[in-house]
Amino acid sequence: MFIISSKWQVASNKSTTTADSASLKRLVLLLLLVTCNLLFAPAARAVLTIEITQSYDGGMPIAIVPFKWDGPAKQAPQDIAGIIESDLLRSGRFNAVPKTNFVSQPHEHKDVVFKDWRISKAEALVIGTLRQIAPGRYIVEFRLYDVFKETQLSGYMYIVEEDSLRRVAHQISDLIYEKLTGEPGAFNTRIAYVVKEGAGKAIKYKLQVADSDGYDAITILTSPEPILSPAWSPDGTRLAYVSLEHRRSTIYIQSVATGDRVKVAEHKGLNGAPAWSPDGSRLALTLSRDGNPEIYVLRLADNSLERLTNHPAIDTEPAWSPDGRQIVFTSDRAGRPNIYRINADGGKVERITVDGEYNARASYSADGTMLALVSAKGGRFHTAVMHLKGSVLQLLTDTSLDESPSFAPNGRIILYATSVQGRGVLASVSSDGRVRQILKSQDGDIREPAWSPFNRQLQPKE
Amino acid sequence: MLKHKLLLSMLFAALLGLGGCATDTATKGDGEGDGTTTGAGKFSPERMKQLLAKRTVYFEFDSSTLVGENLEVVQAHGQHLAANAKTKVTFEGHADERGTREYNLALGERRAQSVERVMRALGVGSDRAKVVSFGEEKPVANGHDESAWRLNRRVEIMY
C-alpha cells in the first residue's frame, strides 16, 4: 500500500492490506470470471442504455468534474465521472450541477477553489484522474469535497485492470452516496434478468447478469423455452429460477460463477416463485402437487419440504421478511389477488393489502418497512410501495404493464419490468417515486429483473 | 372459490341438458374413461363437428370459468375423447400479459384444470390427461390491448 496523503489510501485488487482477504479473493475471482466470459462471449458490453424519463430537482446539487485522462490513447477507456454521475442521479437524491455552470475544472486538490463551486451552486464536488500506468492497467483517483465547509470528505486511489474500471466507478458512487446521505449505496451490485430474443421457432430465452446500470452483461443460461423468476441467493453467488425447458415448470439453482446447476423442484403440477430465506438455508416456493398452488418451504440441506398454506385459492409469489420470520405472498382467496402474510413456520394468515383491484408479487425492502409490489388501478398495472406502518399504498409509476419489482439492497431504488411501445424493458424508480429511468436494450424483450444483494464491495477504510 | 366455480360450471352443464353425466361423475370426483358418457350424442353431428374443429377455449380476465360455447367445446372434445379411450390429451393453460408472471402461471394452471375437470366428468381419466401452464409466456397474439389479450387467455386442448 502506498499513501499519497493522510486522506488518500490505496485499494488495489493486488493488495491485501485495505480490505479483508475474503472479499478480495471474491473480487479477484470475479475479475477472472468476467474476463473469461468476455473472452468466450465477446458480446456487447453495454446491453442496456439508460434514459431518464422523470427527474427531480430537489436533490443535493453535486458537481462532478470530468476526470482528467492521462494515457497514450486519445480517449479514456471509461468515462468515470459520467458513470458516477448517472449512478447518483438514478437514486433521486442528487442533482448534477450543469457543466456549463462550472467556473473551473480542477483535477487536483491544489486547483480546487471553493468559491467557484459556491458560485456554481454546488454543495458537493467530485474531482479525479484516470491514469494508465501499464498496458491495461490504470490508477483511478478521486476526491469528494464539502463546498461550504471547504473540507475533503473522502479520497481514494485504486489500481485496477481495464475490466474493473466501471466497477471502481460504481464503488466510488457508493462511497460518495454513503458519505453524503449516511446510507450505504447500492451501485456496485448486479442485476439478473431474462431476455427474450427472436420470433417463432427461433425464440431464445437468456438468463443474464449485468452491473446495476446494465453494463457488462453475461449470459448464464440460454433456453428455447421461457425462464422466470430469477432470485439471488443472499450471498450473491447463485440464482434460483423457474425454467420451462422441459415444457413444464422446474426450479433450478445455478452458480453465477461456474454455471453449474442443480434441480431443486420438479413436482407434479406447478413449480414456481423461488425465494431465498435471508440466511440462505431455505427456499420458499409455490407447488401445486397437492392440487392447487400452495406456498412451501424447501430446506436445502436435506431437501425436506414443509407446506405453509392450505387454501383452494391461488397462493404464490412468496417473499421473506429481512429477519426471516415472516413470508408475504399473493393469494386470490378473497376473489382478487392481494398480499397476505404468514409466519415462516406457518400459522394464521393475515391480509396486508386492502385496496386495489390487483395487488401481487410483493417483496420487502432491506429494512423491512416497505413492500414493493404490482398494484392495478383502472386496469393499469403499476409499480407501488406499501408502507407497512400505517398500511399506505403508493403508486410510483404511470406505466401500465409493470411486473417484478425488486428493491435495491439499500431500499432506495426499485427495479421493475414494463412495456414501452410494445417492447419489454427494465425500468427503475426511486422508492419515493421522484426519479424514473428506463434501461433500453438494443434488441429483445427484457423482463424479470432481480437486484443482487450487497456482495462485491471492496471497502477501503479511511 | 375454486369449488364454487366448478359447481357453477357443472350446474351450467346441467342446464344445457348435459348434466346427467357431469353432476354424477363430479360427485364421484373421478371419471374413469369407460366410454359410458351419457353426454355423447347430445350435440347434433354438425354441431359436434363445428365444436371439435375448435381446439382452444377462452376466458375472462383473472377467471378460469368456462362459459358459453367454450364449455360446449370442452364437452364435445370430452365426449369424443371418452369414446377414444387410448388418446392422450394435454391441456395447456395460458394467461394474458397483465398482472404478474407467477400469478399468471398459477392462473394458466387453474384454467387448464377447469377444462380437465369437465373432461374427467365426461369420462376422460386423469391417467391420460396432462395439465400444463405457460402463464403469460406464450401469447398467440402479440398486441397490447383487449383484442390480443382475449385470444391469449386460453386453454389449448392438444391431442
- Domain-embedded: residue A24: no
Mean pLDDT of chain B: 82
What is the predicted pLDDT for the residue at B4?
56
Q: In A198-249, at which residue ranges do the beta strands (DSSP E only) sit?
A: 204-211, 218-223, 227-232, 238-243
* A302 & A263 share domain: yes
Over residues A13-64, the pLDDT tens digits come to 333 333 344 444 444 333 333 333 333 333 334 566 767 677 777 789 999 9
Q: For residue A170, how many other CB atoms are within 10 A of its CB?
A: 25
Q: Is the per-residue pLDDT at A248 higher than 60?
A: yes
Q: Which of B113, B22, B30 is nearest to B72 (CA)?
A: B22
Contact indicator for A188, A175 with CB cutoff of 8 Å: no
Q: Specify the CATH number for the domain of residue A175.
A: 3.40.50.10070
Report which residue type is found at A197: E
Residue A123 lies in domain: 55-181
Q: Which of A119-123, A422-426, B4-8 has the highest mean pLDDT?
A: A119-123
Over residues A261-297, the pLDDT tens digits come to 999 999 999 999 999 999 999 999 999 999 999 999 9
- Domain-embedded: residue A294: yes
- Domain-embedded: residue A34: no
Residue B144 at interface with chain A, using a CB cutoff of 8 Å: yes
Sign of CA dihedral A161, A162, A163, A165: positive
What is the predicted pLDDT for the residue at B53?
97
A87: left (phi over 0), alpha (psi -120 to 50) or beta: alpha
Contact indicator for A396, A414 with CB cutoff of 8 Å: yes
* A37-41, A296-300, A437-441: range with lowest mean pLDDT: A37-41
Q: Which residues contact A189 (CB under 8 A, 6 or more apart)?
A: A170, A211, A212, A408, A409, A451, A452, A453, A454, A455, A456
Q: For residue B148, how many other CB atoms are within 10 A of its CB?
A: 15
Sign of CA dihedral A426, A218, A196, A228: negative
> Residue B54: pLDDT band by 50, 70, 90 thresholds?
very high
Q: Is the per-residue pLDDT at B27 higher than 50?
A: no
- Domain-embedded: residue B58: yes
Q: Which of B124, B114, B117, B122 is nearest to B154 (CA)?
A: B114
- Domain-embedded: residue A232: yes
What is the predicted pLDDT for the residue at A455?
59
* A174 & A303 share domain: no
3-class SS of residue A133: strand
- Domain-embedded: residue B115: yes
* A171 & A304 share domain: no
* A217 & A133 share domain: no
The distance of B157 to chain A (nearest Cα, Å) reads: 15
The distance of B42 to chain A (nearest Cα, Å) reads: 31
Please state, in angstroms and rounded to a whole number, the distance separating the CA atoms of residues A214 and A413: 14
Is residue A66 within a helix (H) or strand (E), and if so which, with residue range? none
* A346 & A386 share domain: yes
What is the predicted pLDDT for the residue at B44?
92
Please compute the mean of the pLDDT values over residues A318-324 and round it to a whole number. Answer: 97
Q: For residue A231, how many other CB atoms are within 10 A of its CB?
A: 24
Please state, in angstroms and rounded to a whole number, the distance separating the CA atoms of residues A39 and A393: 47
Please state, in angstroms and rounded to a whole number, the distance separating the CA atoms of residues A226 and B112: 19
Cell of A194: 431474462
Nearest CA in chain A to B107: A314
Residue B22 lies in domain: 2-28+38-158
What is the predicted pLDDT for the residue at A412?
87
* A114 & A135 share domain: yes
* A40-49, A415-424, B98-107: range with lowest mean pLDDT: A40-49
User: Chain A contacts of B101, Cβ < 8 Å?
Assistant: 228-229, 403-404, 447-448
* A169 & A205 share domain: no
Domain boundary among A128, A147, A181: A181
The residue written with cell numbers 398467440 in the block is B140
Q: Which residues contact B31 (CB under 8 A, 6 or more apart)?
A: B25, B119, B120, B121, B122, B123, B124, B125
The residue written with cell numbers 431504488 in the block is A413
What is the predicted pLDDT for the residue at A215?
87
Q: Specify the CATH number for the domain of residue B14.
A: 3.30.1330.60
- Domain-embedded: residue B8: yes
Count of domains for chain A: 2
- Domain-embedded: residue B65: yes
* A351 & A202 share domain: yes
> Residue B10: pLDDT band by 50, 70, 90 thresholds?
very low
* A227 & A91 share domain: no
ipTM higher than 0.90?
Answer: no
Please state, in angstroms and rounded to a whole number, the distance separating the CA atoms of residues A368 and A10: 35
What is the predicted pLDDT for the residue at A456?
57
What is the predicted pLDDT for the residue at A458?
52
- Domain-embedded: residue A457: no
Q: A228, B98: Cβ pair inside 8 Å?
A: no
Alpha helix stretches (DSSP H) within chain B: 2-15, 19-28, 45-52, 69-82, 101-121, 146-152
* pLDDT above 70: percentage of residues in chain B: 74
- Domain-embedded: residue A278: yes
Picking from B2, B99, B101, the nearest residue to A358 by CB comes out as B99
Using a CB cutoff of 8 Å and minimum separation of 24, what contacts does A238-241 make? A239/A192, A239/A207, A239/A209, A239/A450, A240/A264, A240/A274, A240/A275, A240/A276, A240/A283, A241/A207, A241/A274
Nearest CA in chain A to B110: A292
- Domain-embedded: residue B69: yes
- Domain-embedded: residue A21: no
* A205 & A313 share domain: yes
* A127 & A203 share domain: no
What is the predicted pLDDT for the residue at A30?
38
Q: For residue B138, how many other CB atoms are within 10 A of its CB?
A: 17
Count of domains for chain B: 1
Residue B137 at interface with chain A, using a CB cutoff of 8 Å: yes
Q: A244, B134: Cβ pair inside 8 Å?
A: yes
Q: Which of A35, A48, A31 is nearest to A158 (CA)?
A: A31
Domain boundary among A181, A200, A223: A181
> Residue A421: pLDDT band by 50, 70, 90 thresholds?
confident
Mean pLDDT of chain A: 87
Residue B100 at interface with chain A, using a CB cutoff of 8 Å: yes
* pLDDT above 90: percentage of residues in chain A: 73
- Domain-embedded: residue B33: no
Cell of A91: 437514486
Please state, in angstroms and rounded to a whole number, the distance separating the CA atoms of residues A321 and B62: 28
Please state, in angstroms and rounded to a whole number, the distance separating the CA atoms of residues A38 and A48: 17
The distance of B80 to chain A (nearest Cα, Å) reads: 25
- Number of Cα atoms under 13 Å in the Cβ half of residue A20: 4
- Domain-embedded: residue B9: yes
* A195 & A175 share domain: no
- Domain-embedded: residue A402: yes
Q: What phi and psi, each to the nearest 5 degrees, are found at residue B111?
A: -65, -45
Q: Specify the CATH number for the domain of residue A354.
A: 2.120.10.30
* A7-11, A196-200, B52-56, B131-135: range with lowest mean pLDDT: A7-11
Report which residue type is found at B37: T
Domain boundary among A148, A181, A214: A181
